[in-house]
Amino acid sequence: MDVPLRTILREWGRIGCIGFGGPPTHIALLRDLCVRRRRWLTEPDFEDAIAACNLLPGPASTQLAIYCAWRLRGRAGALVGGAGFIVPGLVLIIGLSAVFLGSPPHWVLGAGAGAGAAVAAVAVRAGWGLVPASWSRTSSRFRWAVYAAAGGVAAALAGPWVVLVLLGCGAIELLLRLRFSAAVSIGGLVWVAFKVGALSYGGGFVIIPLMQADAVSHYHWMTSAQFLNAVALGQVTPGPVVQTVAVVGYAARGVGGALLASLVAFTPSFLFILAGGRRFDRIRRDHRARAFLDGAGPAAIGAILGVAVPLARALHEPWQLGILAGAAVLLLALRRGIVTTLLLAGAAGVSAALAGAPLPH
């Protein structure tokens, strides 16, 4: 198939501009483009691509976008499509970082505090939405529960060390299956971004505990309130949620740091597809890869749910707890959208700020 690169740039750029709502939205838009409208891929091909990308560490929806473009025009298509998908949201989030991390007016601080207050509820919604599919395909529901609990506790208490728990759960499940079948420095910023892009299974909110302890407690690049703003910005801007790392990079080293962190975080996704795209079918069918994912996957879900604990602990003002409760009702009970909920939370924060409520520092 020889799809023009300008077509790939236009279509993937469009998804990068309108892809609000995280991985479910990205997958739906890519399916509509590649399978239903253009018929570049068959439905089984697309489902296989999703399964293979879920086996890789890092942001799965970003890898899916790169892989689909690779199927159309090889390496050039992967690079052009990946850039089209990532860059629009990246430009927007760096611009917003300058506003929120500089010297913003009082009402902007209120908007950030309001939206940040809702983030813990967003994490619970994101994690809970992943439970049914993972639960239905597990071979041992007891071990699934143990892995999920381990991931949740690690995300709540262990900060960046949650990556070791995810890898450990995957390794344990792999060993069990095999046994049964047989019988502030640039260096610091680069390391944080590398962990986000290459060592995080599940993507999305799994990256939050990887960044929070480093960005807030260890390197002191930003305050807890600013980190909550960063997570909220990653949710309300189009493109992959992993772009939150750009806000951390901006806090550490300005625009250059944002670009460096993004480059390091997204490079593994390109390398995985460019180096291994031809082997995806074999990887997907490999029982050892599936076994590892069956251990790491539940732990990642637990980590997504568990990250709500430190995010909620980062709230300093009582009115923020009220916004968190309202967001939980909207997301979990009324099933409203994440972006809509965060915008409403931001509006509530603006109202609180204009009314003279104390703002977090």
Query: Does 61 have pLDDT greater than 90?
Result: no
More confident residue, 181 or 327: 327
The average pLDDT across 260-288 equals 83
What pLDDT shows up at residue 178?
A: 67
**Mean pLDDT of all residues in 84-91:** 94
Contacts of 179 (CB under 8 A, 6+ apart): none
Residue whose tokens read 């990246």: 90
Task: Compare 361 and 225 and report the one with higher pLDDT.
Answer: 225
pLDDT in tens, 310-343: 888 888 888 999 999 999 999 888 888 777 888 8
Q: How far apart are CA 292 and CA 194, in angstroms?
A: 21
Q: Is the pLDDT of residue 1 over 80?
A: no
Q: Tokens 């409208």 sit at which residue?
A: 37
Region 215-239 average pLDDT: 86
Residue 202: what pLDDT?
Answer: 59
Highest mean pLDDT: which range of 12-26, 219-233, 277-291: 219-233
Length of the chain equals: 361
Contacts of 123 by beta carbon, 8 Å cutoff, 6+ apart: 205, 208, 304, 305, 307, 308, 311
Tell me the C-alpha distance between 354 and 14, whole Å.
36
Instruction: Give the tens place of pLDDT for each residue, 101-123.
Output: 877 887 887 888 888 788 778 77
The Cα 254–Cα 267 span in angstroms is 20
The answer to whether residues 242 and 60 touch, using CB atoms and an 8 Å cutoff, is no
Predicted local confidence at residue 40, as pLDDT = 94
Integer Cα distance of 223 and 112 in angstroms: 13
Instruction: Calculate the alpha carbon distances from 134 to 51, 63, 137 in Å.
Output: 12, 20, 6
Nearest-Å Rg of the Cα atoms of the chain is 20
Q: For tokens 């399964």, name the residue.
A: 51
* Inter-residue contact 239 to 86 (CB < 8 Å): yes
Say how many C-beta atoms besides its own lie within 10 A of residue 196's C-beta: 30
pLDDT at 68: 94
**pLDDT above 80: residue 197:** yes
In the predicted model, what is the mean pLDDT of the chain?
Answer: 83
Please give the pLDDT value at position 281. 67
- Contact between 31 and 17 under an 8 Å Cβ cutoff? The reply is no
Of the candidates 39, 11, 40, the one whose C-alpha atom is nearest the C-alpha of residue 26 is 11
pLDDT tier at 75, thresholds 50, 70, 90: very high
DSSP notation for 270-307: HHHHHHHGGGHHHHHH-HHHHHHHHHHHHHHHHHHHHT
| pLDDT value at residue 361 | 67
Structure confidence at residue 221 (pLDDT): 92
- Give the three-state DSSP class for 164: helix
| 183 pLDDT higher than 60 | no
Look at residue 185 and tell me whether its pLDDT is greater than 80. Answer: no
Q: Which of 317, 324, 325, 326 is nearest to 357 (CA)?
A: 317
Question: Pick from 1, 2, 4, 28: which is nearest to 15 by CA?
Answer: 28
Task: Look at residue 23 and tell me whether its pLDDT is greater than 90.
Answer: no
Give residue 261's pLDDT band: very low, low, confident or very high (50, 70, 90). Answer: very high
The angle subtended at Cα 59 by Cα 288 and Cα 272, nearest 5°, is: 60
Helix (H) or strand (E) holding 263: helix 244-276
Provide the pLDDT confidence category of residue 9 given band limits of 50, 70 and 90. very high
Inter-residue contact 154 to 306 (CB < 8 Å): yes
Is residue 90 scored above 60 in pLDDT? yes
User: Ranked by mean pLDDT, which of 55-59, 126-130, 227-231, 303-307 comes out on top?
Assistant: 227-231
